[in-house]
Amino acid sequence: MKAIVNTDKAPSAIGPYSQAVKAGGFLFVSGQIPVVPATGEVVAGGVKEQTKQSLENLMAILNNQGLTAENVIKTTVFIKDMNDFGKINAIYGQYFMKDAPARACVEVARLPKDVLVEIEAVAVLS
């Protein structure tokens, strides 16, 4: 069985997908881009601000289910420019300070709304 997760504290899906899905003891969080939930607009600023907003959106979905960053076991970070890896990593590290999850980071040609970063996650339900 699966359960769809949705919260107004994170951006609405911009396509035929769910913000997150609970199944088999896990929460699968769709890729979060740096859209401000209240406005539907991409956050102002550069890659640091975009990374922070993407992670805030991810945390909002986790928090909606009573979870925290410590429940995250795997993330995938999609970035537009691998030269930004250090800046993204610095912000990312502020959210995953203890027992960091497994992670993949890949450079992609283009992301939705032409953002610079997108982050998805898998968390274990407590």
Domains of the chain by start residue, with CATH:
2-124 (3.30.1330.40)
What is the phi-psi region of residue 73: left when phi exceeds 0, alpha when psi lies from -120 to 50, beta otherwise? alpha
Q: For residue 125, give every residue at least 6 positions away whose Cβ sits within 8 Å of its Cβ, in sequence order, or none.
A: 22, 25, 26, 27, 65, 67, 71
As annotated, the active-site residues are 105
Tens digit of each residue's pLDDT (9 = 90 or more) over 96-115? 999 999 999 999 999 999 99
Tens digit of each residue's pLDDT (9 = 90 or more) over 15-67? 899 999 999 999 999 999 999 999 999 999 999 999 999 999 999 999 999 99
Does the pTM surpass 0.85? The reply is yes
What confidence tier does 14 reach under pLDDT thresholds 50, 70, 90? confident
End-to-end CA distance of the chain: 17
In three-state secondary structure terms, 117 is strand
Tens digit of each residue's pLDDT (9 = 90 or more) over 60-99? 999 999 999 999 999 999 999 999 999 999 999 999 999 9
